[in-house]
Amino acid sequence: MQKKYDVVIVGAGLAGLSVAQELQNRNVSFIVVEGSKKFGHRHHIGIFNSQVKKFNLESCVVNRLRRFTFLTPAKSFVHLFGRKEGISYVDLNKLSSIIDKRIKGKIRFNTWIKDICYVGGELCLVDENKNNIFAKMVIDCSGKGSSISSKMGVEGSDIYCKTLSYTLDNCSAKDKSNSITFLDSSLTSSGGAWIVPLKGTKFHVGISNMFPYNKPGREELEKKLNLFLIKKEIHGVDFRRSRRITKKIFKDSPAIRPAKRFVKDNLILLGDSAGQPSSFFGMGSPAILDMARVAAGIVEEAVKKDDFSRSQLSSYETYWKKNFGRYEFFNGVLREIVMRLFDDEAWDLMIDKLNSLSGKEFFEVLKSNYTLGILFKLSSFRLAIKLFSNFIEVVYDRRV
Ligand SMILES: Cc1cc2nc3c(=O)[nH]c(=O)nc-3n(C[C@H](O)[C@H](O)[C@H](O)COP(=O)(O)OP(=O)(O)OC[C@H]3O[C@@H](n4cnc5c(N)ncnc54)[C@H](O)[C@@H]3O)c2cc1C
């Protein structure tokens, strides 16, 4: 007879691996199924120092970011993180293999889930070779597109943020400080860029833009990233032959809003598929790590009670609302305003305002912890007038 798992986790990205790790020492039988043949498209991500400690990620930290800058044609403004604050740069590749060992290789690669159905009242996942996997519930960690929950009738998160990143080798930089940079509209139209020295002559660099106000294609982002590297005096990159670029990632991320629902009967959504890491200025992975821990506790309880109904799983949504929903309203409003009403002039006015925040306040903004005081500092009469006139234009455009 075919084995029936308590839980099937679909996707071996940060979300799938984190929840698998949390389930490992609980009384729950599970398997992770991953469509690719190995941990695919892994890259490096910045996570707050406090989260690195909380989730035991020290061994995967490759660098610590000490400052952020604003780059405008006229000037470069620098803010330093405080002594305890800051961002650690984590190697997702390394993290994946560490977790793989911790969960004793319970990952089935090359298993792309094509369909989900109920067979004789039991939940059944069908892969592309028509193999069946039976389970009591699914944790959808399938990332952008929410391929699993959409099959179960839950709409996932919208995709709006474009990111391009390179890993560079054999390069040198004049400025070796570890930094994140926010750029004016000559480089990004709504987003940021980063250069992080890895080991020796290796660097990780990237740029991200939100849309729809600007819909950057790959070529446009490539041009902007190259220009950014020239401005930051990274030497040795031969872009025409791309010899020094050892890895290129061009990806959409859900940056707009969380999915309307995170749970359904026999289903929990986690990570990008739920649109959880959607804080306005990025750094969303801490939400994944936190929610993975919560999901594991709730799943264990469901297994104990043999109840996988929406009402049994609903405390997962309640936790989100209580811990992350607090600032979600401000995040949502800000994102909608940027998406619909910003143009280059408005973006530059905001970069100017961001620059007026203290280091501590800016760190709160990075974490998307807006207070009324911070929001007040970010607003200005000129920006308000600009947005109002853009609003009139949008309304007028819609009418005609
Ligand atoms: C270049 C870049 C830089 C980033 N930088 C940061 C940062 O600095 N800080 C931060 O917090 N966040 C950052 N992010 C965002 C962060 O990396 C993501 O939010 C996070 O990795 C998402 O993890 P996930 O597991 O939800 O999704 P994914 O990593 O996309 O994993 C989903 C997995 O599911 C698999 N899958 C999908 N459908 C199926 C199916 N039907 N069957 C089987 N398998 C399936 C896919 O193959 C994939 O492996 C960055 C993202 C990018 C692209």
Long-range residue pairs from 292-295, CB within 8 A, at least 24 positions apart, any chain: 292/15, 292/18, 292/19, 292/21, 292/22, 293/18, 293/22, 294/319, 295/19, 295/22, 295/139, 295/268, 295/270
Residue whose structure tokens are 């009403």? 341
Are both 244 and 277 inside the same structural domain?
no
User: What does DSSP say about strands 61-65 and 4-10: parallel, antiparallel, or unpaired?
Assistant: unpaired
**Residues 95, 57: contact at Cβ < 8 Å?**
yes
Which of 92, 106, 102, 98 lies closest to 41, judged by CA?
Answer: 92
The residues, ordered by sequence, that sit 6+ positions from 288 with a Cβ below 8 Å of its Cβ are 14, 15, 18, 270, 271, 276, 277
Best probe residue, ligand 1, of 21, 42, 44, 45 (max atoms within 8 Å of C-beta):
45
Distance 12 CA to ligand 1 centre (A): 9
Residues 36 and 141 in one domain: yes
User: What's the angle, vertex CA 190, arms to CA 187 and CA 192, rounded to 5?
Assistant: 65
Q: Does residue 242 share a domain with residue 175?
A: yes
Last residue of a domain, which of 204, 224, 252? 252
pLDDT of residue 240: 56
What's the CA-to-centroid distance between 354 and ligand 1, angstroms?
Answer: 28
In terms of Cα–Cα distance, which of 87, 109, 113 is closest to 96?
109
Provide the pLDDT for residue 216.
66
Give me the tens of pLDDT residue by residue for the chain, a chain 400 residues long. 677 999 999 999 999 999 999 999 999 999 999 999 887 656 788 888 888 888 889 999 988 887 777 777 666 777 777 777 788 889 898 899 999 999 998 999 999 999 999 888 889 999 999 999 999 999 999 988 888 988 888 887 776 678 888 888 888 777 666 777 777 777 776 677 888 888 778 888 888 876 555 566 788 888 888 888 887 777 766 655 556 777 788 887 766 678 888 999 999 999 988 888 766 665 678 889 999 999 999 999 999 999 999 999 999 999 998 888 766 777 777 777 877 788 888 888 888 888 888 878 888 887 777 788 888 888 888 989 988 998 888 888 766 5
Task: Report whether 350 contacts 343 (CB < 8 A).
Answer: no
Question: How far, in Å, is the centroid of ligand 1 from the Cα of 14?
Answer: 6
CA of 309 from ligand 1 middle (Å) equals 27
Cα–Cα distance for residue pair 247/205, rounded to 1 Å: 10
**What is the 3-state secondary structure of 62-79?**
EEEECEEEEECCCCEEEE
Q: Are residues 172 and 278 in the same domain?
A: no
Length of the chain: 400
Residues 150 and 39 in one domain: yes
CATH number, domain at 298?
3.50.50.60
Residue nearest to atom 20 of ligand 1 (CA): 14
Instruction: Let me know if 228 is exposed, middle or buried by CB neighbors in 10 A (0-12, 13-18, 19+).
Output: buried
- Which protein residues touch ligand 1 with a CB less than 6 Å away? 10-16, 33-36, 40, 43, 45-47, 112-113, 141-143, 147, 163, 165, 206, 249, 251, 253, 271-273, 277, 282-285
C-alpha gyration radius of the chain: 22
User: What is the 40 CA–ligand 1 centroid distance (Å)?
Assistant: 9
User: Do 317 and 189 reside in the same domain of the chain?
Assistant: no
Q: What is the rounded distance in angstroms from the CA atom of residue 330 to the CA atom of residue 369?
A: 9
Pair 392, 357 in one domain: yes
C-alpha of residue 388 to centroid of ligand 1, in Å: 36
**Atom 35, ligand 1: residue with shortest CA distance:** 11
- Distances in Å between the alpha carbon of 1 and those of 4, 133, 134, 278? 9, 12, 11, 42
In terms of Cβ atoms closer than 10 Å to its own Cβ (0-12, 13-18, 19+), residue 364 is middle
User: Residue 131 to residues 1, 112, 114: CA-CA distances in angstroms?
Assistant: 14, 10, 10
Question: Chain-centre distance of CA 51, in angstroms?
Answer: 15
142 CA → ligand 1 middle, Å: 8
Per-residue pLDDT at 137: 97
Of the candidates 266, 296, 323, which is a domain's last residue?
A: 323
Instruction: Please tell me the predicted confidence (pLDDT) of residue 214.
Output: 55
On whether both 79 and 121 belong to a single domain, the answer is yes
Question: From CA 125, how far away is CA 138, in angstroms rounded?
Answer: 9
List, in sequence order, the alpha helices (H) in the chain. 14-24, 49-54, 92-102, 218-231, 285-305, 310-313, 315-323, 328-341, 344-355, 359-366, 372-378, 381-399
The residue contributing the CA closest to ligand 1 atom 37 is 142
What's the rounded Cα separation, in Å, for the pair 115 and 93?
28
* Last residue within a domain, chosen from 252, 271, 301: 252
Which residue do the tokens 């849309």 mark?
Answer: 211
Instruction: Please indicate, yes or no, whether the overall pTM of this predicted structure exceeds 0.75.
Output: yes
Helix axes 14-24, 92-102, angle to 10 degrees: 30
46 bridge partner residues: 89
Q: Which residue has the tokens 């986790």?
A: 9
pLDDT at residue 182 in the model? 75
The domain total for the chain is 3
Ligand 1 atom at minimum distance from 33 CA: 43
Q: Do 23 and 129 sit in the same domain of this protein?
A: yes
Residue 170: left (phi > 0), alpha (psi -120 to 50), or beta?
left
Question: Residues 48, 107: one domain?
Answer: yes
Q: How far is the CA of 16 from the centre of ligand 1 (A)?
A: 9
Q: Whose CA is nearest to atom 30 of ligand 1?
A: 143
CA distance 211 to 162: 8
Atom of ligand 1 nearest to the CA of 14: 25
Please check whether residues 108 and 32 belong to one and the same domain.
yes
Distance of alpha carbon 85 from its chain centroid, rounded?
20
In the sheet that holds 87-91, the strands lie side by side as 44-48, 87-91, 61-65
Parent domain of 206: 161-252
Expressed in angstroms and rounded, the spacing between residue 15 Cα and the centre of ligand 1 is 8
Name the closest-CA residue to atom 10, ligand 1: 283
Q: Are residues 308 and 375 in the same domain?
A: no
Q: Whose CA is nearest to atom 29 of ligand 1?
A: 13
